[in-house]
Amino acid sequence: MAVSTQVRQSGNSSLPTQGMENNHPGIGTAPAETLRGVRCIRLSVRTDETTSPERQRESDDQAASALGIDFGEGDALREAVDLDVSASKVGPFERPQLGAWLKRPDDFDALVFWRFDRAIRSMGDMHELAKWAKQHRKMIVFAEGIGGGRLVFDFSNPLDPMSELMMLMLAFAAQVESQSTSDRVTGAQAAMRKMPLRWRGGGQPAYGYLPAPMPAEHGGVGWTLVPDPVAVTVIERIIAALVAGKSPLTIARMLNADGVLSPSAHWAAYRARTKNNGTEPAESTTPKRKPAQWRDKTIVKMLTSPAIMGWKIHRGNPVRDDQGAPVMAAEKGILTREEFDQVGALLTPKPVAERPPVRKDSGALLLRVIHCDGCEGRMYLNKGYYQCSSYKYGANCPAPSTVRADWVDEHASSEFLRLVGPVHITRVTEIPGYDPQPEIDATVAEMEEHDEQKGRRKSKAGMAAWQKRADALETRLAELEAREKTEPRREVLSTGRTYADDWNSADTMARRTMLVEAGARLMVKRGTRGGWRKLDLRRVEFTITGDLDPAIEANVTVAGELATENNPNHAPTPGAMAHRNLTPDTLATAA
């Protein structure tokens, strides 16, 4: 039955009525004067189709037209649009736009909502709103009330309590219904959590997955999750960057710079496309918040959550079946358990060793490479010269050296390219293998947390439920402990580039990094008289030690053999390289 409570007449008291005709003398008649109204729109989820802003505007306009309420237009439009705002969590006075209007009661006469749940979800909020309307003598209109009829509450007479009483009664009924609905939904979701592959819907799945109809071979009822090709490509890019040594913060900045949608923005775009049958939505006039950006914490949380393996997660813990195995939300996970552990190893914080204070970069090519032969201490750039700086640290160098920077920079560069330039660069990938211990530790932690709940069980049914989960965790632990551990290994992959390729395209800082990582060291002896015109090669010794030793030795050997074959009567000097006779293919084979 339609319910209509309408009262606003000059000099008459407010009397709520049900089912009365609008021509009843003095009751239910539309006001003769035009009222200044505020059209109120709220959405908990921006892409909700059933309660879209357009539908709310249409209903509000119809109610306003019948009651002689004007919302204005253009710059003078009176409208409060609060999107992505939950009425259960945010009261009317705390909402961004509605709250701003409620602080200016002199600017309007009536508030028009589509339905009760667009305004409030609790008796407490409704009481505060009714008290405010009574204090400021305002009208509150619900375009579609209980049973579909329009509800009008006129507080123009502060001495009449009927409008406030009726609002509270209806708010109580709405709150009870909301709680009953919530209980039914909670029970249904708890049952679906235990169903393999069944996605409960109504929320955002883990990044990398999208909802899809359940396949016929799995019953064809409800929804499941499938990998999202676009998001999977982004995840693969993130993991590749981690393998290359980039930090989550660097990766987040890279994704933001490239305009890659963050998980929440990606989901919002997907919902908008599904609403518009796969096409991009037209530009809306409603205000939009700036999309969330990628953050390092977002990347770490995404890659360390078991949800990326397709596991169901509830309150931060995996949902498990009676045997303790994780319940799957998707038939195929984006990552296997082995891959999940490998990515976790990449994200494990590395211990930070104590290091000296960071100094301003001087731009010196040979910083940490050039050393004084007299004391073996580092030499530093000062006004175009590398100088022994032992005196700055209280040491006594018996033969401090000084040398022109451009001389030794050129010498070290040519020696590095002679020895290492033709060597092909390889990338070493650490494969952690599979170790069941991380999942064992996580399951043990989950079991310990579950054990703490035992003392709270007072009923036999509650104790039986507790024991059932405890048995499932024990079963899972036994299964994990029976699995074999796979030892980690290293894979060496060629990048297709040589050190000379990278050197020629690098700046000074990158070249310095190449020298340091290669183990380059330049020892400089004290100068002698007459050594000011050019670099005296007897003063310097350039060496490279470390992982590149075998490749350098192989290149020297190949160079010598090629030189001997080309000119048997002139064997190369030991330690020299016939650069012109080496080909990339030959060097790659030697390396």
Kindly state whether residue 194 falls inside one of the protein's structural domains. Answer: no
How many C-beta atoms surround the C-beta of residue 498 within 10 A? 20
Q: Do both 392 and 531 map to the same domain?
A: yes
Q: For residue range 483-520, what is the model confidence (pLDDT) as tens digits?
A: 888 877 777 778 888 999 999 999 998 899 899 988 99
Q: Which CATH number does the domain housing residue 280 bear?
A: 3.90.1750
Q: What pLDDT shows up at residue 208?
A: 93
Predicted pLDDT of residue 11:
34
Nearest in space to 543 (alpha carbons), one of 402, 412, 400, 377: 412
> Are 479 and 416 members of one domain?
no
**Structural domain boundaries enclosing 249:** 209-284+292-347
Considering 138, 155, 178, which residue would you say is the last residue of a domain? 178
> What stretches of 175-288 adopt beta strand conformation (E)?
209-213, 223-227
Q: Domain check: are 461 and 522 in the same one? A: no
- Residue 328 is classified by DSSP as B
Domain co-membership, 41 together with 135: yes
Residue 358 lies in a domain: no
* Domain identity same for 258 and 305: yes
pLDDT in tens, 348-368: 876 554 444 445 666 899 999
**Is 202 inside a domain boundary?**
no
CA distance readout (Å), 63 to 99, 163, 377: 22, 18, 86
Instruction: Note the pLDDT of residue 432.
Output: 65
CA distance 109 to 478: 70
What pLDDT, on a 0 to 100 scale, did the predictor assign at position 589?
A: 35
Residue 60 falls within a domain, yes or no? yes
Do residues 390 and 472 share a domain?
Answer: no
Which stretches in the chain have pLDDT values below 70? Answer: 1-32, 45-51, 146-148, 158-193, 201-202, 276-289, 350-362, 394, 430, 432, 530-532, 555-591
Within a domain: 13: no
Same domain, yes or no: 405 and 544: yes
- Residue 230 DSSP SS3: helix
Same domain, 580 and 533: yes
Residue 84 and residue 124 in one domain: yes
Burial group, residue 426, by CB count within 10 angstroms (0-12, 13-18, 19+) = middle
**388 and 525 inside one domain:** yes
The CB density around residue 129, as the number of other CB atoms within 10 Å, is: 24
Give pLDDT, residue 77. Answer: 94
- 21 domain-assigned: no
Q: How far apart are CA 324 and CA 309, in angstroms?
A: 16
The CATH number given to whatever domain includes residue 76 is 3.40.50.1390
* Burial (0-12, 13-18, 19+ Cβ within 10 Å), 385: middle
Q: Is position 222 within any domain?
A: yes
Task: State how many domains the chain has.
Answer: 4
pLDDT for res 30: 45
438 and 328 in a single domain? The answer is no
Are 3 and 59 a contacting pair, CB within 8 Å? no
Are 39 and 117 in a shared domain? Answer: yes
The answer to the question of residue 4 being in a domain is no
